[in-house]
Structure 1
Amino acid sequence: MAAEKSLFQRELEDSLSDDDDCLIMSAAAIVETYSNKKGRHGGSVPGHKVIYRDREGGHQRMFQDYLADDPTYGPNLFRQRYRMSQDLFVRITNDVESYDDYFVQKMSAANVLGLSCFQKVTAAFRMLTYGVPADATDEYVRIEEITVIESLRRFIAAVVDLFEEEYLRYHNEADTTRLLVFGEQNGFLGML
């Protein structure tokens, strides 16, 4: 160890046991901890294993499966798996992408194309619709757990901000009447 005592050690030795000294020692410990990391920037974590997920290929496969002109899985399977029509999904995805820059596909500093809005929104929907854990989306959507959690958090915030007034409100008399007529026309009222 260095012969010169650190600020934290000097404060510790000179301190009285009152709250002010405790606060000073805590602040000194934080300053000492972070001052030892000068020059350290964000980015790569030493020892962190990078997994090549083929994000672009994942997006292309998902797009071909559901959104292409001649998709592998047609509109009925889209509705079954996403619990909504393809048109509604695309509208929500476009609105969320326009609202929050996080959902816009970008190039990284390493010149690697990032995740698409489709991938981030699909991961969020899988968690919401099926209760899938965040790490279970990696194999198909090609997105890691921490990104899924951030996508879900930002997706929910965007949906609430965008659609709260129109869709996330208490029903009114016009809504009730419209639903009753719809139910009567489609034979749902006889089921009650």
Structure 2
Amino acid sequence: MSASRSLLQRELDDSSSDDDDYLILSVAQIVETYSNAKGRHGGSVPGHKVIYRDREGGHERMFQDYLADDPTYGPHLFHRRYRMTRELFLYIMNVVESHDDYFVQKRSAANVLGLIFFPKVTAIFRMLTYGVPADATDEYIRIDESTAVESLRRFIAAVVDIFEDEYLRYPNEADTARLLALGEKNGFPGMLGSIDCMH
């Protein structure tokens, strides 16, 4: 996490855009909030009421909605709701699952089969994409707030570990040349680092 924070801090120091600062601060706050929550999760809570969520039925519905061969919501709606293609989503899901065994389905001490990664990662993307609170994901995704928060914290750590060297860094000369060529091809010569294409 310290490497991601230092990258965010360097970006804040170098950035001249208030919008960029806001976005970077938002990501930094998410990382810090869920990093500080580490160690607080787990164990029995006296007086805690267990809610039967029908996780298996919920997972089957979610799978049919988005991941089946003939899904209820096709590629266009998948992209709209997850803000990425299904192929990219599955790639990220698979590499994160193989990186951190927290996301691998296991049995609990009570021999209850735990969640698979798809509902966890769906809750994560809903929180990141739409800014919804963790407990707002429960009705459709069928996981409680503490699981959603812990999943988000571990997902962020895994993404930083896996993708930091390739994507969470300053662009090098090859990146700059590729981005300038891409901009020129699309009719925006010299356009680099301008998200709104106004500079």
TM-score range with shorter-chain normalisation?
0.7 to 0.9
Give CA-to-partner distance per residue, 1:93-151, whole Å, 9 cap, x none: 11111111100011223232211111111111111111110000001111100111100
Cα distance, 1:43–1:173 mapped onto 2, change above 3 Å: closer
Distance 1:75 1:53 in 2: 28
Matched, 1:146 2:146: yes
Higher radius of gyration, 1 or 2: 1
Distance 2:188 2:79 in 1: 20
SS of the residue 2:176 aligns to: helix
* Alignment size in residue pairs: 151
Partner residue, 1:177: 177
1:155 to partner: Cα distance: 0.3
SS of the residue 2:166 aligns to: helix
Partner residue, 1:11: none
Give CA-to-partner distance per residue, 1:137-183, whole Å, 9 cap, x none: 00111110011110000000000001100111111222222223323
What is the alpha-carbon root mean square deviation over aligned residues? Answer: 1.9
1:43 to partner: Cα distance: 5.4
Cα distance, 1:88–1:44 mapped onto 2, change above 3 Å: same
Partner residue, 1:55: 55
Give CA-to-partner distance per residue, 1:27-83, whole Å, 9 cap, x none: xxxxxxxxxxxxxxx855443211111111111111111111111111111111111
Which segment drifts farther, 102-111 or 173-182? 173-182
Cα distance, 1:187–1:79 mapped onto 2, change above 3 Å: farther
- Retained in 2: the 8 A contact 1:56–1:113? no
Partner residue, 1:89: 89
Partner residue, 2:159: 159
- Retained in 2: the 8 A contact 1:135–1:144? yes
SS of the residue 2:53 aligns to: coil
Partner residue, 1:78: 78
Equivalent AA in structure 2 for residue 121 of structure 1: V
Question: TM-score if structure 1 supplies the norm length?
Answer: 0.72
SS of the residue 1:184 aligns to: helix
Distance 1:146 1:43 in 2: 12
Distance 2:179 2:73 in 1: 30
Distance 2:188 2:132 in 1: 31
Which segment drifts farther, 58-67 or 136-145? 58-67
Question: TM-score if structure 2 supplies the norm length?
Answer: 0.70
Alignment of 1:129-144 (within 5 A): 129-144=129-144
Equivalent AA in structure 2 for residue 120 of structure 1: K
Cα distance, 1:75–1:186 mapped onto 2, change above 3 Å: farther
Distance 2:182 2:76 in 1: 21
Cα distance, 1:188–1:116 mapped onto 2, change above 3 Å: farther
Partner residue, 1:99: 99
Partner residue, 2:22: none
